[in-house]
Chains A and B, each alone.
Chain A
Amino acid sequence: MTDDLAVDTSDEAEAPSPRRTFLGLGAGLAASAVLARAAEAQRPTRRADIGTLTDRLGQRLEWRSTELRLLRRISMGVTAATADRVRNIGFTRFLEEQLDPASIDDSACQQRISTNYPQFAYSQATLLAKDSVFWQEVASPVMRSIVERACFSERLLEQRMIEFWSDHFNIQLSAPRVVDYRDVIMANALGKFGDLVRASMRSPAMLIYLDQVWSTKYGVNENYARELLELHTVGWDGGYTQQDVHDFARVLTGWTIDNQRRFTYNAGYHDFGAKRVMGQVFPARTEAGGTAGMDEAINFAEYLIHHPATARFICTKLLRWFIRPDPTAAQISAAVAAFTSTDGDIKAVLRAILTESNLASAPAKLKRPFHYYASIVRATGATIDPWTDWTTWEGVVGHHWDNAHAPLTWATPDGFPDRAEYWAGLMVNRWNAATSILYNWGVPGRYPRFTPAPFMATATPTAVINEINRRMFAGEMTMALRTELQSTFGSATTLSSSHVQNAVHLAACSPDFQYY
């Protein structure tokens, strides 16, 4: 069943010639639409497009199945089982299943995390007590639990959305960030956008990270106000001025934390003077205690959550995440309509974005290193044993550091970049991560463990290549890779374990496996 899905055309082995590009596009889109888009892309700044048009237009000839395109985009990597599932139940049912993560049994993964990495579930009080030893005792197991959840969770789309929001509301890793990751990001990943904003505004980790806890009527700190506008809601071109940022910071004064590092509102810090933010007027009021003045930021948050610029900013960013770096006006409009008509229901927006036609024309996208790592573990069936010795080097989180993509470690509030040109230069680092997964280094648990046995039930070159194709490429491997794999086997007719191990490694390092 695998070979008939593979597109073994000699065109694939060629460099991206005009012909190949054109053919690739022809398969996905009407030629006229392509020309229009190419022209559109060139119009604003001709020179701007150096080096990007090829990628914008990059299509995969061999990716024929729209179901598999959906699977690739909403998961941390294909497996033979998930490919079978989407083929069996079809595009719509598979998407609906993934949009309802509670319907998917994920107990094995949950059990793995709760048993092996209890640090991930530490209470607020425990984390506070562990603050001084956070980096020695808590940070690495938390990061490892995030990596392993990406590798083993069956709730595929939810994982991709957690990754998305974790970057959108990024906070550099700290003890309070663990609480934020669980209670803000994971809890609302497929909920309402407004709930994410509301929860984030009350998240001690965010208020500490962006200096809100320092901002009082005695001296405001603009940091959080600016990023709440620029990064979280209306976006950098959302139509606000420096004066708006300053007055929004004044509106937010009083939003802070208590000595147990819990969110609190302190009216004694609030600036009750007159303020004006993006045309919204806050008249001067009499100073008071309790929650007096807190309503100002609560109300303005609602204004931001329902601002048209927010819908546009979030939908465009989601389209970039799932579909293409340069979403069209029509794609944005459809997503914005879903956002607006459902009060920012993330599932509704995803239904408007993850359409068959959007996916059919979506150019190939480079996996980020975190995604790449999980996709190797998933596709090859590698396992990861528990690890407890956090005082010595371990290679699972370690290779994420080497790839500059250890979970939650991006220092600035914009989150890890979602741009191929940022990540692509680190190919050598990626290949080393692949090697660390597939060659059984070190004592159990330090690195993943891999056995080639499932790939060689029939140990002939053709059978093994077909099995690599089925497990790692959902049956849509390129001819170029098939040829290269065949040549590595030379004249052997029966393959050894190391033959197969090397072949799986080459497949994981190949260009085909870098994209999704």
Chain B
Amino acid sequence: MTTHEEQCACEEYRELSRRGFIGATGVAAGAALLPGWLPEIKYAESQNSSRDVIVSVFLRGGADGLTMVAPFADADYYRGRPAIAVPRPDTSASNRGTALDNFFMFPPGMMGLYPAWQAQNLAIVHATGQLGTNSRSHFEAERYMEAGKPNDYNLVTGWLARHLMSSAPMRAGAPLRALALGWGGMRLTLSGAPNTLPIPEPPNYTMARNIGPQLDRLYTSAWAPARNAARDGISTINLLQSINFRGYVPSNGAVYPNTDFGRGFRSLAALIKADVGVEAAHLDIGGWDTHAQQGSTGGVMHNLMVDFSNTLGAFWADIIKGPTTRRLTVVCISEFGRNARENGSQGTDHGRAGAAFFLGTHIRGGRVISSWPGLDRAVLEDGQDLRVTIDYRDLLAEIVQRRLNNPNLDLVFPGYVPVERGITL
């Protein structure tokens, strides 16, 4: 470690202490709490590091992996879904799928990601999900997944937040290390992260009447989390106003859909290219709770997949494809998949395993990674759902360790010993 890096780590140490511990330690078991785990943290490499920028996407509502990456070679897929299955690639149906290998295919709505797949920058993991819980409740399953730990309602920080807590900033003094884009407050994935804000629309982030200095003084003595958000917000306004979002021209002719999700990624690309120290971002794409009239190849889910794949396809072309290589990884997960069989209203109810997507130049792409458990009723979980064979934490932990250079896996995914699945190069 250089002196500078050491200093950086110390600063982060102090920051962590100030934000998280003073309140607790002052009152009660400070001495017992502090040495318990803090000194165990080995900070990830600092601003000179070669770690990736990480983008986390949450498909909210339980995305149907059996449609997004459909197993056309599994006859039970067609038996269980007579009305909503995607036609095989070797049929002449106009809405047929496109084969990814000899088993899985993209439906038409996912084809926005096909160029990234062909470039081997996209890896798909199938029959993945949560091994630590079999909850089919959105809110419970989302909570556990975003927290990075199942069955713990007390854990109020997210997995990505704890990665940031245990890493020195990629750039020392960066006012904004991470952000959640899109409408809403702070998603749990990033909850508790230092120098991190929900910013619905970065181009419009401004103060109608700027009394920043006065508010900064007042909020210095306020409590977390309002203190941190207020002070980070004031410094971030200046940062974002230095970036020309409206005049941003994506590379390689990439066109982002004019949707919340598309505009969010467009702003994010501008922000990353501006190189202001943003090292993590989170975006939600909602609406995957397709209980009725699912529309796998035309309709609600088709339109969602078009938004999802065209946005990520544009982001890939704009910022990952090159010629300028950026160190960047995108991870896309959902709280659970959906029933193997369709329900009475041409939709699917809450299930278990689904698909996860990983995008980047250092992703071992062009592959669907799966130990396919099958869709025969006898092997389905509770007789109805695709079995989880790979815990999602195996995949995220590999990204955290290999692409984010953060060795503190026990902090990011408490109590879990991940198995490496080889999704990174």
Contact = CB atoms under 8 A, between A and B. Distances in A.
A220 B185 CA distance: 34
5 contacts: A35-B27, A48-B154, A50-B21, A226-B137, A425-B180
Interface stretch (B203-211, B249-257, B262-270, B305-313): B203-211
Residue in B183, B223, B343 whose Cβ sees the most chain A Cβ within 10 Å: B223
Given A214-B343, A423-B186, A428-B237, 12 more contacts: A38-B27, A50-B20, A51-B156, A51-B157, A53-B23, A219-B343, A221-B344, A230-B139, A421-B192, A428-B233, A431-B207, A506-B214
Interface residues of A, number: 83
A219 B217 CA distance: 61
Nearest to B200: A404
Contacts of B228: 424
Contacts of A514: 222, 226
Residue in A49, A51, A366 whose Cβ sees the most chain B Cβ within 10 Å: A51
A452 interface: no
Contacts of A243: 382
A417 B198 CA distance: 15
Interface of A: 12-19, 21-22, 25, 34-35, 38-39, 42, 44-55, 57-58, 211, 214-216, 218-223, 226, 230-231, 236, 242-243, 245, 364, 366, 401-402, 404, 411-412, 414, 417, 419-429, 431-432, 435-436, 439, 480-481, 484, 488, 502, 505-506, 509-511, 514
B218 A221 contact: no
Contacts of A39: 28-29
B101 to A, nearest CB: 32
Interface in B169-228: 180, 183-186, 191-192, 196-198, 200, 205-209, 211, 214-215, 217-228
A221 B226 contact: no
B292 interface: yes
A218 B342 CA distance: 12
Interface of B: 19-30, 33, 36-37, 60-61, 134-140, 152, 154-157, 165, 180, 183-186, 191-192, 196-198, 200, 205-209, 211, 214-215, 217-230, 233-234, 237, 286-287, 289, 291-292, 343-345, 347, 349-350, 382, 411, 414
Given A48-B152, A424-B186, A435-B209, A484 B29 contact: no
A18 B22 contact: yes
A397 to B, nearest CB: 14
Contact of A411 (B157, B191, B286, B343): B286
A488 B214 contact: yes
A47 B37 contact: yes
Contacts of B23: 16, 18, 21, 53-55, 57-58
A45 B154 contact: yes
Contacts of A505: 209, 211
Contact of B24 (A54, A412, A423, A426): A54
A286 to B, nearest CB: 22
B47 to A, nearest CB: 24
B27 A34 contact: yes
Contacts of A242: 134, 136, 382
A18 B192 contact: no
Contacts of A219: 343-345
Residue in B30, B140, B224, B226 whose Cβ sees the most chain A Cβ within 10 Å: B226
A226 B229 CA distance: 36
Contacts of A506: 211, 214-215, 218
Which 6 A-B pairs give the minimum distances between C-beta atoms? Answer: A219-B344, A18-B26, A54-B23, A511-B222, A214-B345, A424-B225
